[in-house]
Amino acid sequence: MFLGLDVGSTASKCVIVDEDGHIIAKGMYPSGAGTAGPQTCVDEALAACGGGASLADIRFSCATGYGRKLSDWTNIQISELSCHARGAVELFDGVRTVIDIGGQDAKVLSIGKDGTLENFAMNDKCAAGTGRFLDVMASVFGCDVSELSAYDERSTQIASISSTCTVFAESEVISKLASGEDICNIAAGVHQSVVDRTYGLAQRVGVKLAVAMTGGVALNTSLRRRLEERIGLPVATSELAQYNGAYGAALLALERCEV
Ligand code: ADP
């Protein structure tokens, strides 16, 4: 078995594949680098393999993500750009553009016809346009981030959020709620703000079909639909979207196995 571990800023993800690259098990824990999250998601994935599987059953392993260097028990550590590209090529037929929005960064990867990473653009300096922005707004709404999509589905207009800075945008959302503006329209505005930032990032590398969205924010269906409208192209996703980096890491562990 081959193990991929993605130690993100917000969540830790683990995928275990067999020697044909098929997924045997996965695990996730909602905390990332510097916490018990990485170990917990590895334990969860091993338990899901059944038969009392342990790390001794893993032939080669690869860590990726923000906190990969702290996971030095893995055989290799590879940048998240390479792992995300590798995972996406497997998950999405003919993918040429990968839009990954995670907890603290957003990136757009341009993939060549041969499946290699050609170019990328990244925002890892500012919370605007990332999952963090959505997490902050969900806490203002008093809901879980997974519920934002349903609010947007019931929107009739897009409330304009003029501040790009997360802190100022949070104050803007608080005052819109206080002035009685419809929470569903505000959710639409929050999503549109992330979409506009993502579109700007995508323009820097150019968007080619097929386009896929990965990272935890890909689970937000309304946001993904707004992104499709903005780009003017279909944006595919997968139930494995949040595991894409860990999946790519597991496949690279299999391909680079030295034992
Ligand atoms: P990282 O790799 O940086 O830790 P992830 O790709 O795991 O980030 O994405 C985490 C983000 O995904 C969270 O900050 C949150 O905004 C978003 N997210 C997680 N679960 C959901 C969900 N069920 N619905 C919508 N958004 C989600």
Per-10-residue mean pLDDT of the chain, 259 residues long, equals 96 97 97 92 96 95 93 94 97 98 96 96 93 97 98 98 94 97 98 97 96 98 98 97 98 91
Same fold, 1-92+239-259 and 94-237: yes
Pocket lined around ligand 1, Cβ cut-off 6 Å: 8-11, 32, 65, 102-104, 131-132, 134-135, 145-146, 215-217, 219-220, 242
How far is the centre of ligand 1, averaged over its atoms, from the C-alpha of 215 (Å)?
6
Residue located nearest, by CA, to atom 12 of ligand 1 = 216
Note the pLDDT of residue 33: 85
Note the pLDDT of residue 183: 98
Query: Which CATH number does 94-237 carry?
Result: 3.30.420.40
Q: How far is 221 from 200, CA to CA, in rounded Å?
A: 20
> Model pTM?
0.96
Note the pLDDT of residue 181: 98
* Structural contact between residues 72 and 1, judged by C-beta atoms closer than 8 angstroms: no
- Residue among 70, 219, 224, 247 whose CB has most ligand 1 atoms within 8 A, to mutate: 219
Sign of CA dihedral 66, 71, 72, 77: negative
Residue located nearest, by CA, to atom 2 of ligand 1 = 8
How far is the centre of ligand 1, averaged over its atoms, from the C-alpha of 56 (Å)?
30
Note the pLDDT of residue 124: 86
Ligand 1: nearest atom to the Cα of 148: 25
In the chain, what are the domain boundaries? 1-92+239-259, 94-237
How far is the centre of ligand 1, averaged over its atoms, from the C-alpha of 134 (Å)?
9
How far is the centre of ligand 1, averaged over its atoms, from the C-alpha of 219 (Å)?
8
Fold of 1-92+239-259: Nucleotidyltransferase; domain 5 (3.30.420)
Q: In terms of Cα–Cα distance, which of 97, 94, 98 is closest to 114?
A: 94
- Residue among 217, 219, 226, 227 whose CB has most ligand 1 atoms within 8 A, to mutate: 217
Beta partners for 2? 17, 60
Ligand 1: nearest atom to the Cα of 12: 4
How far is the centre of ligand 1, averaged over its atoms, from the C-alpha of 217 (Å)?
5
Residue located nearest, by CA, to atom 20 of ligand 1 = 216
Count of CB atoms within 10 A of residue 234's CB?
11
Q: And the tokens for 212? A: 């896929």
Q: CA angle, 36 as apex, 29 and 144 as ends, to 5°?
A: 35
How far is the centre of ligand 1, averaged over its atoms, from the C-alpha of 193 (Å)?
17
